[in-house]
C-alpha cells in the first residue's frame, strides 16, 4: 500500500505541472471554487475551446485515449494526476466532457473506422462540441422506454421525437441519440444508436431555465431529422448495448469528480470568517463532511488501483457518484447555515447560493440516487431485481 506517487507518476506530475505553469495562469486561492461548473452561454465556449486546443496539441486532452487518436495512451491514474494539477490553475470550465469522456470512448468501442476518423479528432481538440440526447419526457430512469422514432428511408433514417435534459445542446455541433427502430419487439431490443448533426434541419434546442437561474440544459425537438445510415453506431437493434457503454463512461466521468468535489478548506475558511468555528454542533457537521470527503477521495484511489490491476473498476467504483452528490448537497446547506442571513441575500453568499441551487441536480443526473442503489444492490451485492412487467412485452403493447 502506498498513497504516494511512484517514480513514473512523479515524473508525469512534474511534466504536467511544468507545462501548466507555462500555459495557464495560477488560481487565486482565496475564493471558494469547484462547485459551480457548467458552461451555460455560447460565449463561454471560445476560451474553453482555446484551452482545449492547447491541451490537445500537447497531448493532455485525451490522456487515456490511444495515441493513434491523438491521446497519450495513459492510465486513468495519469488522467487524475493531470486533473489534480490542472485544478491549481485558473482554467475555463470544461464543456467537452461529454465528447471526450462519453462519445469518444463509445465510438472507440462500437463505431466504424470511418466514424472514428471523422469524429475523434475534432472531439479531442474541442473543435466540435457534443451533447447527449438520451432522456425524454417519458423516459428518465427507465431510459429504454424511450419513444423517439427512427424510420428507414433509403440510405437515411428519419428521426422524430423529443429529448430533454441535454446539457449544452444549444451550442453543441453533434449529439448521440438512441432511438426506437422496432416497436414490435421488447423495449431493450428495438433501439438503434445514432450520431445527429445538431445543425441539421428539424433540430431545435430550447434551453430550459433551471432553479439556479441558469440554462445549461435543453429540451430538443427532432422533427423529421434526416440522418445518414453512415451515422448509425452499432447494428440496427443493438442500440441498448451501445447506450450502456456510454452510460458506464458517464458514471466513470462523474465519479472522476470525487478527487476534489469541493475543497474542505473552503468550508473551513467560511466557518472561520463567519465566526462560527466555535459552535460545537457546526464543528460536528464540518468534521462529518471532512471524513466523508476523505473516504470518497481514497475510494477513488482504490478504484484506480482496481482498474490498474484488473482492467476495470471493482465494487468500490459504484459508490462515488452516489456519495459525492449527497456530500455536496449537505456541504452547500451547511455553508448557507454558516452564512446565516448572508446566505439568504448579499454578495457574500453568492457563490454558495449558486452551488446550493445547483446541488440537487447531481443526485438526479446520470442515474438518480435510487438507480445507483439498485445498481449497487443488484450488480454488486447480487440481490434479485424487482419483478418487471415490461421486459418481454413488445414495446408497442406497453401502456403509455
Partner 1 sequence: MDFAFSDEQRLIGRSARKLLERRGDLQPTREVLESGAPYHEALWKDALGAGWPLTALPEELDGEGYGLLELAVLAEELGRVVAPIPFSSTVYLAQSALLLAGEPETAAGERIGTAALWEPEGRGPRVPARAQVADGRLTGVKRPVPDGMVADYAVVLAGEQLYFAELDGVERRPLEALDPTRPQAELSFDGAPCRPLGVTVDALLERAAVLFAFEQLGGAQRCLEMAVAYTKERHQFGRPIGSFQAVKHRLADMFVAIELARSNCYYGVWAVAGGAPDAAAAACGAHIAATEAYAFAAQENIHLHGGMGFTWDADPHLFLKRARSIELLLGSPPEWREQLMVHLEAA
Q: Give me the catalytic one of 250, 306, 330, 342.
A: 250
Q: Are 194 and 119 in contact (CB under 8 A)?
A: no
Cβ proximity to partner 1: between 204 and 374 the closer is 374
User: How far apart are the C-alpha atoms of 348 and 380, rounded to whole Å?
Assistant: 44
Residues that contact partner 1, how many (by CB under 8 A): 52
* 29 is a site residue for partner 1 (CB under 8 A): no
Tell me the window of 30-38, 103-111, 196-204, 295-303 that interacts with partner 1 (CB under 8 A): 295-303
Residue 250 annotated to the active site: yes
Q: Are 211 and 63 in contact (CB under 8 A)?
A: no
Tell me the window of 220-228, 245-253, 300-308, 352-360 that interacts with partner 1 (CB under 8 A): 300-308
CB of 34 to partner 1, least distance (A): 18
Binding mask 231-270 for partner 1 (x = CB under 8 A): ---------------------------------x---x--
* 283 is a site residue for partner 1 (CB under 8 A): yes
* 330 is a site residue for partner 1 (CB under 8 A): no
Long-range interactions of 148-154: CB distance < 8 A, separation 24+: 148/177, 148/178, 148/179, 148/180, 148/222, 149/179, 149/180, 149/181, 149/183, 150/179, 150/180, 150/181, 150/192, 150/194, 150/227, 151/181, 152/181, 153/226
Among 319, 331, 336, 359, binds partner 1 (CB under 8 A): 319
Three cell numbers written together for 81 = 494526476
Three cell numbers written together for 32 = 471558494
CB of 308 to partner 1, least distance (A): 8
Tell me the window of 34-42, 113-121, 222-230, 377-385 that interacts with partner 1 (CB under 8 A): 377-385
Among 15, 173, 182, 306, binds partner 1 (CB under 8 A): 306
Query: 3-class SS at 223?
Result: strand
State which of positions 63-102 bind partner 1 (CB under 8 A): 77
Among 79, 216, 316, 329, binds partner 1 (CB under 8 A): 316
Based on its alpha-carbon atoms, the radius of gyration of the chain, rounded to whole angstroms, reads 22
Q: Are 233 and 110 in contact (CB under 8 A)?
A: yes
Query: 3-class SS at 211?
Result: coil
| CA atoms lying within 13 Å on the CB side of residue 362 | 27
Cβ proximity to partner 1: between 125 and 372 the closer is 372
User: How many other β-carbons are positioned within 10 Å of the β-carbon of residue 142?
Assistant: 13
Among 211, 291, 345, 391, binds partner 1 (CB under 8 A): 291
User: How far apart are the C-alpha atoms of 324 and 296, rounded to whole Å?
Assistant: 7
Among 113, 155, 201, 386, binds partner 1 (CB under 8 A): 386
* 290 is a site residue for partner 1 (CB under 8 A): yes
Q: Are 282 and 330 in contact (CB under 8 A)?
A: no
Cβ proximity to partner 1: between 200 and 291 the closer is 291
Tell me the window of 141-149, 197-205, 231-239, 301-309 that interacts with partner 1 (CB under 8 A): 301-309
Among 236, 247, 248, 277, binds partner 1 (CB under 8 A): 277
DSSP-derived secondary structure for 364-400: TTTS-HHHHHHHIIIIIS-PPPPP-SSTTSBGGGS--
* 370 is a site residue for partner 1 (CB under 8 A): yes
- Residues belonging to the chain: 400
Q: Are 325 and 369 in contact (CB under 8 A)?
A: yes
State which of positions 122-151 bind partner 1 (CB under 8 A): none
- Name the residues annotated as catalytic: 250
Q: Which spans of this chain sit near partner 1 (rule: CB under 8 A)?
A: 1-6, 9, 77, 264, 268, 277, 280, 283-284, 286-288, 290-292, 294-299, 301-302, 304-306, 309, 315-316, 319, 322-323, 370, 372-374, 376-378, 380-387
Amino acid at each position: 500500500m502506498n498513497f504516494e506517487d511512484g517514480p513514473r507518476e512523479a515524473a508525469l506530475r512534474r511534466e504536467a505541472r511544468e507545462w501548466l505553469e507555462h500555459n495557464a495562469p495560477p488560481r487565486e486561492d482565496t475564493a471558494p471554487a469547484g462547485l459551480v461548473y457548467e458552461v451555460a452561454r455560447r460565449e463561454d465556449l471560445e476560451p474553453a475551446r482555446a484551452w482545449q486546443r492547447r491541451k490537445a496539441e500537447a497531448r493532455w486532452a485525451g490522456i487515456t485515449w490511444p495515441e493513434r487518436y491523438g491521446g497519450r495512451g495513459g492510465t486513468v491514474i495519469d488522467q487524475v494526476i493531470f486533473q489534480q494539477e490542472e485544478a491549481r490553475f485558473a482554467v475555463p470550465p470544461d464543456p467537452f466532457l461529454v465528447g471526450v469522456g462519453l462519445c469518444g470512448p463509445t465510438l472507440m468501442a462500437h463505431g466504424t473506422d470511418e466514424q472514428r476518423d471523422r469524429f475523434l479528432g475534432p472531439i479531442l481538440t474541442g473543435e466540435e462540441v457534443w451533447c447527449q440526447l438520451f432522456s425524454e419526457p417519458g423516459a428518465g430512469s427507465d431510459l429504454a422506454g424511450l419513444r423517439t422514432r427512427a424510420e428507414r428511408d433509403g440510405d437515411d433514417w428519419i428521426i422524430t421525437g423529443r429529448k430533454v435534459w441535454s446539457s449544452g445542446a444549444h451550442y453543441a455541433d453533434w449529439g448521440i441519440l438512441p432511438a426506437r427502430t422496432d416497436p414490435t419487439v421488447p423495449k431493450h431490443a428495438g433501439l438503434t444508436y445514432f450520431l445527429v448533426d445538431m445543425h441539421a434541419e428539424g433540430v431545435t434546442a430550447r434551453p430550459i431555465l433551471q432553479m439556479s437561474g441558469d440554462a445549461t440544459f435543453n429540451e430538443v425537438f427532432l422533427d423529421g431529422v434526416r440522418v445518414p445510415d453512415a451515422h448509425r453506431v452499432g447494428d440496427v437493434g443493438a442500440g441498448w448495448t451501445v447506450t450502456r457503454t456510454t452510460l458506464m463512461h458517464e458514471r466513470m466521468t462523474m465519479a472522476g469528480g470525487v478527487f476534489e468535489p469541493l475543497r474542505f478548506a473552503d468550508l473551513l475558511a467560511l466557518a472561520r470568517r463567519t465566526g462560527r468555528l466555535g459552535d460545537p454542533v457546526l464543528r460536528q457537521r464540518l468534521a462529518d463532511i471532512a471524513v466523508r470527503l476523505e473516504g470518497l477521495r481514497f475510494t477513488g484511489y482504490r478504484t484506480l488501483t482496481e482498474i490498474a490491476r484488473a482492467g476495470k473498476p471493482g465494487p468500490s467504483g459504484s459508490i462515488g457518484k452516489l456519495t459525492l452528490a449527497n456530500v455536496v448537497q449537505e456541504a452547500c446547506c451547511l455553508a448557507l447555515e454558516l452564512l446565516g442571513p448572508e446566505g439568504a441575500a448579499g454578495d457574500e453568499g453568492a457563490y454558495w447560493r449558486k452551488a446550493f441551487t445547483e446541488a440537487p441536480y447531481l443526485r438526479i443526473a446520470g442515474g438518480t440516487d435510487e438507480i445507483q442503489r439498485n445498481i449497487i444492490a443488484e450488480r454488486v451485492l447480487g440481490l434479485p431485481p424487482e419483478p418487471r412487467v415490461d421486459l418481454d412485452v413488445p414495446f408497442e403493447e406497453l401502456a403509455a
